[in-house]
Amino acid sequence: MDALEARYRPLVDALARPVAGASARLVAVSKTQPAEAVRALAALGQRAFGENYVQEALAKQRELADLDLEWHLIGPLQSNKCREAARHFDWVQSVDRAKLLPLLDKERPADRGPLNVLLQVNIDGEASKSGCAAEEVMALADQAAALPRLALRGLMAIPEPHPDEAHRRAAFGRMRSLFERVRERHASVDTLSMGMSDDWPLAVAEGATLVRVGSALFGARPAKA
């Protein structure tokens, strides 16, 4: 068993064990990783991969076109990238403002089926972080749900990496409460994306249905040139 498999197998096994009656799905965060690393993880059974940058993802998609992969855009989305995001991704997890929704809807090819979208919430109100405010979520959800080429699937958040575990758990708990309110209003909502390499067990314990893990799978990211 190589190092990648040795990291991957225990993580997938842990996520498959229900916590509070539910299990979580893994998105492998492959940003800055070469296409060969994605191919190696796909050979172990991983299908969903997360990318921060549209252009980097498109290059990998071309190189890996022979594989049946599910691509998630998890980084901030600029309006001028909506066309490519809508055409080449299966999920966009980082919708955080109203203007993006009609652009994604317009550019989604009809033959690909609806684009799965998550609304990114800045749950801790960090000035440096993307995401809408909690009080904006319901209006965005209503708008997304009304667009025919989008499928509103739920919420995403990157809570503050606070050293206090109770602080982080509280943020995840607030996200779950918000998620439950949106789910009561929109039947399509089934996904709460939160938790990364350092805190995914806390996130799952608080109701995450999808976690985004990069360095704990691939190892430290390659240094930038």
The 10s digit of each residue's pLDDT in 40-88 is 999 999 999 999 999 999 999 999 999 999 999 999 999 999 999 999 9
- Kindly tell me if the per-residue pLDDT of 135 is higher than 90: yes
- CA pseudo-torsion sign 33, 151, 173, 123: positive
Global pTM value: 0.95
Q: How far is CA 81 from the centre of its chain?
A: 17
* pLDDT average, residue stretch 30-38: 96
Looking at residue 139, its pLDDT comes to 98
What token pair was written down for 165? Answer: 């575990």
pLDDT (tens digit per residue) in 143-202: 999 999 999 999 999 998 888 999 999 999 999 999 999 999 999 999 999 999 999 999
pLDDT, residue 219, reads 85
Q: What is the CA radius of gyration of the chain?
A: 17
pLDDT band at residue 1 under the 50/70/90 scheme? low
- The pLDDT score that the predictor gives to residue 133 is 95
Q: Is the pLDDT of residue 224 over 70?
A: no
Taking the CA atoms of residue 153, residue 20, residue 51 and residue 39 in that order, the dihedral angle to the nearest 10 degrees is -120
The β-bridge partners of 71 are 49
Residue 83 neighbours by CB distance under 10 Å? 15
Beta-strand pair 91-95/150-157: unpaired
The rounded distance, in Å, linking the Cα atoms of 130 and 112 is 28
Q: What is residue 108's predicted lDDT score, i.e. its pLDDT?
A: 98
